[in-house]
């Protein structure tokens, strides 16, 4: 793509060194009115004809506004909130806390309130193309400003004053529209390629899951004679297998180690909920948080080779019972709160076989069905202890685990390669956006061609 004929130096060289000669650098509030939603927590109510969705950053997903998991508030609270932040179709919303950035164009006429979300009033703004501003807000140029100004801590937070003082550009509306059209065209092509790769990953993950389901629950011999397990949700098992409650072949304990740190306690590394949820296995290279615990807690909850750790509490029922396998004994390392530790009797049940069993679809369904709670779900100790697990010879367990690892590792390797391609496509997408919105390429005469990216 060609460049503009002439450029000028900017007053913000740490962000962008030069701009097209006719562009101007200005603050966001010079062109766009910026508001924010409530920072209070109104009471939630059941959805009805007289209630309204309260949109938070969690409802702004992948560039879209998703009402599916929205909480609802009373009409009175809604009208109080919209006095300061009246959202219209064509405006832009952006999280102010947590995943700062990630703007979304409002494409609905549905009435709703916002909480901890920024509102850029672009719906009736004749100086700004909404799509152009949305791309600008998602660019590295804006992200660098957030990095410089966001307040860290447990969650990132960017204030309303920072948003209003963001550096942006003033350029002809027609030119903004050209840039937006160009990026719509390019990102649509790239997003389609990314979607194909993501669909491939889903197929590979389904293939991996099918292997685990088959080998753990049916064994290696496809011709083995089967029998009814006697457990309705379990189905058939090989004739020489048995089923037994977990409590007879494994200890189950709930950790009490939280995130608070105390000077008079032992300094340790802690495997927290996200570590267990996001990792199949806890390895020496797994990065864990620092924390403290008592000597008694260390003795009870130290991570030891062969243990299985599962998530026991979550806001979503399908997030509980997610297992991770402890590959070795870790010194100065303990299991954290909201997790359960399963320590198997190694002469009867191998930890890695239990880990794979807990990954099966039938166990996931069992935990979802037996979880307690309405707004937050949890597994009680009796539910875990009374889970039926297969009982088979240790040698056969080892062979099953070996075959699963052999096949799963190959699939995982392919998934990693595909994810690498996806990341490169996303980086390419981001570079195109940054080049266009900061004036590095001249798109005033751009037309859609037949050539593809």
Q: What is the 3-state secondary structure (H, E, C) of 207-243?
A: HHHHHHHHHHHHCCCCCCCEEECCCCCCCEEECCCEE
Report residue 154's pLDDT band, with 50, 70 and 90 as the boundaries.
very low
Q: The tokens of 257 are what?
A: 């180690």
Q: How open is the CA angle 127-129-135, to the nearest 5 degrees? A: 130
Give yes or no for a contact between 183 and 135, defined as CB atoms under 8 angstroms apart: yes
Q: What is the residue whose two structure tokens read 């529209």?
A: 177
| Class of the CATH domain delimited by 28-169 | alpha beta
- Answer yes or no: is pLDDT of 240 > 50: yes
Measuring CA to CA, which residue among 376, 293, 377, 372 is closest to residue 335?
A: 293
Measuring CA to CA, which residue among 30, 402, 425 is closest to residue 216?
A: 402
User: CB neighbours of 125 closer than 8 A, spacing ≥ 6?
Assistant: 31, 32, 33
Count of CA atoms in the C-beta half-sphere (13 A) of 24: 9
In the chain, which segments carry CATH 3.90.220.20?
A: 28-169, 242-391
Distance CA 453, CA 2 (A): 16
Distance CA 307, CA 352 (A): 8
Give yes or no for a contact between 189 and 209, defined as CB atoms under 8 angstroms apart: no
User: CB neighbours of 170 closer than 8 A, spacing ≥ 6?
Assistant: 23, 24, 25, 26, 30, 31, 127
Per residue in 172-229, pLDDT (tens digit) is 999 999 999 999 999 999 999 999 999 999 999 999 999 999 999 999 999 999 999 9
Q: The tokens of 308 are what?
A: 């299985």
Provide CATH code, domain 242-391.
3.90.220.20
Distance CA 13, CA 68 (A): 43
In this prediction, residue 100 carries a pLDDT of 75
What's phi and psi for 268, nearest 5 deg? Answer: -140, 170
In this prediction, residue 151 carries a pLDDT of 60
- Answer yes or no: is pLDDT of 156 > 80: no
The DSSP symbol for 342 reads: E
Chain centroid, CA 446 distance in Å = 36
CA dist list (Å): 246 to 41, 236, 357, 391? 42, 18, 12, 10
Determine what percent of the chain falls in helix, strand and coil, rounding each to the nearest 5.
Answer: 40, 25, 40
Report residue 155's pLDDT band, with 50, 70 and 90 as the boundaries.
low
Per residue in 27-80, pLDDT (tens digit) is 999 999 999 999 999 999 999 999 999 999 999 988 899 999 899 999 999 999
Count of CA atoms in the C-beta half-sphere (13 A) of 29: 9
Distance CA 85, CA 87 (A): 6
Q: The tokens of 54 are what?
A: 């309260």
Report residue 315's pLDDT band, with 50, 70 and 90 as the boundaries.
confident
Per residue in 257-314, pLDDT (tens digit) is 999 999 999 999 999 999 999 999 999 999 999 999 999 999 999 999 999 999 999 8
Chain centroid, CA 200 distance in Å = 19
The DSSP symbol for 51 reads: E
- Answer yes or no: is pLDDT of 450 > 70: no
Q: The tokens of 287 are what?
A: 């990065």
Burial class (CB in 10 A: 0-12, 13-18, 19+), 308: buried
Is pTM beyond 0.75? Reply is yes
Distance CA 197, CA 423 (A): 11
Q: Distance from first CA to last CA of the chain, Å, rounded?
A: 13
User: CB neighbours of 202 closer than 8 A, spacing ≥ 6?
Assistant: none
For residue 119, the cross-strand partners are: 35, 93
Give yes or no for a contact between 371 and 384, defined as CB atoms under 8 angstroms apart: no
135: left (phi over 0), alpha (psi -120 to 50) or beta: alpha
Per residue in 103-153, pLDDT (tens digit) is 999 999 999 999 999 999 999 999 999 999 999 999 999 999 988 876 655
User: CB neighbours of 332 closer than 8 A, spacing ≥ 6?
Assistant: 266, 267, 268, 269
In this prediction, residue 375 carries a pLDDT of 66
103 three-class SS: coil
Distance CA 95, CA 224 (A): 55
């Amino acid at each position: 793509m060609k460049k503009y004929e002439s450029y000028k130096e900017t007053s913000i060289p740490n962000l962008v060194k030069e701009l097209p000669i006719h562009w101007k650098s200005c603050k966001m509030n010079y062109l766009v009115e910026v508001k924010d939603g409530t920072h209070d927590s109104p009471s939630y109510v059941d959805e009805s004809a007289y209630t309204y969705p309260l949109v938070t950053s969690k409802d702004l997903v992948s560039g879209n506004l998703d009402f599916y998991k929205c909480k609802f508030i009373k009409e009175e609270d809604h009208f109080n909130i919209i006095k300061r932040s009246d959202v219209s179709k064509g405006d832009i919303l952006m999280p102010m806390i947590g995943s700062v950035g990630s703007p979304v164009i409002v494409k609905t006429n549905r009435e709703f309130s916002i909480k901890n979300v920024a509102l850029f009033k672009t719906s009736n703004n004749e100086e700004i193309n909404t799509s152009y501003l949305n791309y600008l807000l998602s660019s590295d140029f804006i992200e660098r400003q957030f990095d410089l100004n966001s307040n860290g801590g447990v969650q990132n937070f960017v204030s309303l004053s920072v948003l209003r003082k963001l550096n942006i550009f003033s350029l002809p509306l027609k030119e903004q529209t050209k840039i937006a059209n160009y990026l719509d065209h390019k990102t649509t092509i790239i997003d389609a390629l990314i979607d194909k790769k993501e669909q491939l990953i889903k197929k590979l993950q389904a293939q991996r899951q099918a292997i685990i389901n088959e080998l753990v629950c049916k064994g290696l011999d496809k011709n083995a004679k089967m029998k009814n397990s006697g457990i309705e949700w379990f189905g058939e098992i090989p004739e020489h297998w048995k089923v037994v409650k977990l409590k007879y072949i494994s200890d189950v304990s709930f950790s009490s180690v939280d995130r608070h740190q105390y000077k008079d306690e032992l300094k340790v590394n802690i495997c927290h909920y996200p570590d267990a949820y996001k990792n199949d296995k806890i390895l020496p290279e797994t990065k864990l948080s620092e924390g403290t615990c008592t000597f008694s807690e260390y003795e009870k909850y130290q991570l030891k080779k062969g243990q299985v750790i599962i998530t026991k509490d979550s806001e979503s029922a399908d997030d509980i019972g997610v297992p991770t396998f402890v590959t070795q004994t870790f010194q100065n390392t303990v299991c954290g709160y909201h997790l359960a530790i399963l320590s198997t009797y190694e002469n009867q049940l191998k930890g890695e076989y239990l880990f794979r069993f807990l990954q099966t679809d039938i166990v996931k369904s069992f935990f979802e069905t037996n979880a307690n709670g309405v707004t937050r779900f949890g597994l009680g100790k009796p539910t875990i202890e009374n889970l039926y697990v297969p009982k088979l010879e240790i040698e056969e367990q080892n062979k099953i685990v070996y075959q699963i690892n052999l096949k799963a590792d190959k699939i995982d390797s392919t998934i990693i390669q595909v994810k690498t391609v996806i990341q490169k496509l996303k980086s390419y997408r981001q570079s195109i956006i940054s080049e266009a919105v900061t004036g590095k390429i001249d798109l005033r005469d751009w037309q859609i061609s037949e050539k593809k990216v």
